[in-house]
Chain A
Amino acid sequence: MCFKNLPIEFDENGKAHLRDGVVSPYSVTTAEPKSFVRKAKSVGAMEAPPQLREWNIDPVTRVAGALAVHTVLDLQSRTAVEAHSMAMLFRGYEIILQGRDPRDAIDISSRACGVCGGVHSTVSSMAVEMAFGITPPPLGVLVRNLGEVAEMFYDHPLHLGLLAGPDYSTAIVSVTNPELVKLAERTSAPHSDVHGFKTIKDIMDGFNPLEGSIYLEALEYTRIARVMCSLMYGKYPHPSTLVPGGVSTKISTSTFNEFYANLAKIFDYAKRLAGIWDDICDFFLDANPAYAQVGARPSNLIQTGIWDDPAVYDATYKNIDAWGQARFSAPGIILDGKLITTKLTQINMGIEEFVEHSFYDDWTGKSPQRFETDMLGNPLSPYHAWNKVTIPRAEGRSFKEKYSWGTAPRWDRIAMETGVYGRMWTTALAQQLPANPYLEATGSGLRITLPRHELPEMELHWKVPVVLNAFERNRGRAYGVAFTAAIGMMCLDRAFKYWRQGETAVSTPYTVPKDERVSVGVWEAGRGYLTHHMHMDKGKLINYQINTPSTWNASPRDPFGKPGPYEEAIVGTPILESLADDDIKGIDILRAIRSFDPCMPCTTHMDTGRGIITREVNSCSCTLE
């Protein structure tokens, strides 16, 4: 049984239907959000007990965009006991896109993110091509795959080196935990033969902002990634070459050769990164096992899959399960660490987006539900993206009412996390990879074989983590570079094969249909899950809904009072700094948040009217604080 909370059942042919006799299958009974502080007050105290202290971080630095976090710390147990995640900006791409030519979505939605400079264009072009009823030629699919491979080489090193890395640097650890720096000086780095750092202290020095070698190398690799992206996309960020039915880039064998020359550099970088993050994570976890609780939350993950097999992908909704399962990185739902489904139809029909605690109006009941089923007859909630209407309303500013511009997406009414480690998780457990010399799914992890470059050929083994915490997220992201490099090789091999066969077309002709069409672009960003749900008629967009990884991860509480993933991960995080209560820096909470690689411009995909603007910050195009 795929669903436990939504009344969706399947017949003997696997066709989904709503359970008989359920009058209001998608009814929502709201519950007051759980609050540790309120509980404490309810026993009679007029104020929160003295060991509790409110801790606000606004903005959370070293993340993309404007994220604020409110926490309550119990200073007696030195643990975070309450958390609220707040997306502090509104963007409104859904509103901007209404009434436009669907092809505009490819360029405009691209501006939703300044970090992932091509992925929204890609998923948008996929949504449009499904609506137009066209299929890209195999090489077009592979060029798109390779572009997204390259984009990961921008995204992951940037986070590991420049955003999360400094949390483990000598500059920071020497302030929060000087005893760990002394221990690090005496601790040899197990993978020094691969990455070249003799001690853990040397790695920590490498993480120092602006001057550390790991920091600077990451900055340099973002350049290599950009070159690789530009080879496939013509320009990066925000390529104009992603079109419905493929790409408009001019491709030749030399394009692939140049791509390979850069990919080979990534092989060695990936080998070093895995060693660096294995060593730093293991050092912290060995030094104090309580670090395993930093950012820990249930292993509930949602992934949409990425990197299509050109022999299977046909851009139809009818075959979405087949081409989804053929993806080199599998879509899937992970509940309590176990794989529940890899079918995109089941993932899609379980999605709902709630605004109980978000600065939007609930649209249900205000207009007729547009779609009760998808194109295959699978039931859809009135809270599903195809039924959603974006109605901004910044009213009710309290944690009991509304506190975020982010919405609360849920799958089967469960808070789900997504990330690079999530897609490695689904791929490992699904074991649906085609035979290839680079990547093997073992059922409990991934065996990644990276070819020789300057470093010899190496086999890396990423294991599905027992506890999903801040360290395992970062470790997974480091192995994610190797995982992506292996998939890059799989795609390059296929690209050369198609080229040799003379199948060199990268795009397909199309006309803009004038009748009503419904479609979805399903793909993944560096941070995981990404969908663009589209509804068009008479050649114009009626509704366009973007759902991004950080919408899931940064979600506020849902109508049932359940917290979002950041909130879950912060509650229970121990304060392991060796500083007195009055000097706490909050580094462990920050490590927990940053391990998700938050991206708030994506999350809240603008209009401030003439409101009070304290400072203007512009991300890509349309971010107003």
Chain B
Amino acid sequence: MSDRQYTPTPGSDLAATPGLENRDRHIDLLLGPGAQVRAGVQREEGCIFVAGIGLPFLRDLDFGMNWLALASELEWPDNVVLEDMSYAAHRAMHRLQEVKPSKLILVACMPRGVDVAGTIRRYRIEDLPPLDVVDVHERLVEAVGGIVDLDHTIAVCRYWKALPDDTTVIEVEPAEQNFGLGFSPPVEVAVGKVIEIVRDEVSR
């Protein structure tokens, strides 16, 4: 069909994807000259499990995944496993049941609407209100329908006791939630701070 004519759709010739420059900048910023890149596979059971949860291509909501990708390039203690857990709650539950970490740190961007964009919240799982069974059921139903959501993951994993006692959530208030790549300026600033907070959690 090479001789056929076609009408290009207006706007189809997309320019370089915005946001990638930011990502490169993050890597440079975080790694810096001479930073040591980790290698090898860690022992999983009993590890400190750092899981990022993000929503691909949705700017700040993709924080968990992109933060994790950047953090994975850094040096961490041998007992720390960093892993993308940007999938549905029951799948995350199965993964945690396999890994059986001694400590879990969940990292994500979550729009709560109570703090200014870029605000970092750190809370422990025992500080959350008691589970409501109907709420768990509804969250599980959404999860099996493909919806990825930090609160769904926490609720379902709590219900089936897949979370270790030592579980901390670190979440950032997003600014940009539309389709695209790269973080908004306030969330970009939070990248390095979350690294420091996770390092603090790991050292406890």
Residues on A close to B: CB < 8 A? Answer: 61-65, 96, 98-100, 108, 111, 113-115, 117, 158, 162-163, 209-210, 219, 222-223, 226, 237-238, 367-368, 370-371, 375, 389, 515-518, 535, 537, 540-543, 599, 601, 606-607, 616-623
Q: B56 is contacted by which of A158, A389, A620 (Cβ under 8 Å)?
A: A620
Q: Is the CB of A542 within 8 A of B14?
A: no
Q: Tell me the bound Cα distance from A210 to B56 in angstroms.
A: 30
* 10 further interface pairs, Cβ-Cβ under 8 Å (given A371-B1, A601-B146): A61-B141, A98-B12, A114-B148, A158-B144, A210-B140, A226-B91, A375-B1, A541-B12, A542-B12, A599-B145
* CB of B175 to closest CB in A, whole Å: 14
- Bound-state CA distance A63–B138 (Å) is 11
Bound Cα distance A367, B90 (Å): 46
Which residues of B12-49 are within 8 A (CB) of A?
12-14
With a CB–CB cut-off of 8 A, which chain A residues contact B4?
370-371, 516
> Chain B's nearest CB lies how many Å from the CB of A389?
6
Main secondary structure of the interface of A (DSSP, over half): loop
On whether the beta carbons of A219 and B146 are closer than 8 Å, the reply is no
Question: Which of B13, B111, B136, B137 contacts A99 (CB under 8 A)?
Answer: B13
State A488–B57 Cα separation when bound (angstroms).
34
The residues of B that contact A370 with a CB separation of less than 8 Å are 4-7
B147 at the interface (CB under 8 A from A): yes
B56 in contact with A621 (CB, 8 Å): yes
The total of interchain contacts (Cβ-Cβ below 8 angstroms) comes to 125
CA distance A115 to B88 in the complex (A): 9
Q: A499–B25 Cα gap in the complex (Å)?
A: 45
Query: Would B55 and A115 count as touching, CB distance under 8 A?
Result: no
- Complex CA–CA separation, A507 to B178 (angstroms): 36
Chain B contacts to A: CB under 8 angstroms: 1-2, 4-9, 11-14, 55-58, 61, 87-88, 90-91, 94, 97, 111, 133, 136-138, 140-142, 144-149, 159, 177-179
Instruction: Please indicate the chain A residues that have their CB under 8 angstroms from the CB of B56 in the complex.
Output: 111, 620-622
Shortest A25–chain B CB gap in Å is: 19
Which of A117, A162, A618 makes the CB contact (< 8 A) with B149?
Answer: A618
Query: Are A518 and B148 closer than 8 Å at their CB atoms?
Result: no
| Pairwise interchain contact B179-A96, C-beta atoms closer than 8 A | yes
Asked if residues B148 and A63 are in contact (CB atoms below 8 Å), the reply is: no
Contact call B88/A515, Cβ cutoff below 8 A:
no
Interchain CB contact under 8 A, B146 and A620: yes
Partner of A542, one of B8, B61, B140, B142: B8
CB-CB < 8 A to B11: which residues of A?
98-99
Q: Tell me the bound Cα distance from A371 to B147 in angstroms.
A: 37
CB-defined contacts of A619 to chain B, threshold 8 Å: 145-148
Question: 6 A-B Cβ contacts within 8 A?
Answer: A99-B14, A117-B87, A163-B141, A370-B4, A517-B1, A599-B146
Which residues from chain B contact A163 at a C-beta distance below 8 Å?
141, 144-145
Name the residue on A nearest B141 (C-beta): A62
Query: Chain A contacts of B12 at CB under 8 A?
Result: 98-99, 541-542
